[in-house]
Amino acid sequence: MKALSIKQPWATAIAIGVKPVENRTKRTHFRGRIALHTSAKPMPGSPRDTIGHKRWDTLTNAQKETIWEGMKVTGAIIGEATIVDCVENHPSIWTDAGHYQWVLEDVVLYDEPIMGIKGALGLWEWEKPYYVVGSAELVNNIIV
């Protein structure tokens, strides 16, 4: 399956279903299921500063706590999502101007991250182990 490396805290925000888009400088024509990989190094600073106060203030306390805890998980596969579109100027508050938004749906957060996975730039191939299960059937915009 394809995988996408994403820096923390963005990866966890996607995996828990609060961030419906991944902002990228390049368009993708790929549509389908991907693994969500956390990059080896998170963004510098606190999640609140990285995400921005406007976005941070829309999150519940449970979501904020999950994102803070997620900052500790790097170099791991943490879940899956489906790329359903690639657009510019998506209406989400998570959209960054001047980027393409890879629109994500059917998000699943794994019960346990798969640690020790080296990522790559862009979409890359990853072989999913048979034993991986998610914490929900599908998150799909429902926060668990």
pTM: 0.88
pLDDT score at 32:
98
Enumerate residue ranges in the chain where pLDDT < 70: 130-144
pLDDT score at 139:
43
Does the residue 23 lie in any domain? yes
Q: What is the CATH number of the domain that holds 42?
A: 2.30.130.30
Query: In terms of residue numbers, what domain contains 72?
Result: 2-125
Query: What is the number of alpha carbons within 13 Å of residue 56 lying toward its C-beta?
Result: 13
pLDDT score at 95:
96
Quote the number of domains for the chain.
1
Q: Using CA atoms, how far apart are residues 94 and 89, in angstroms rounded to an integer?
A: 10
Does the residue 108 lie in any domain? yes
Does the residue 140 lie in any domain? no
pLDDT score at 141:
40
pLDDT score at 134:
57
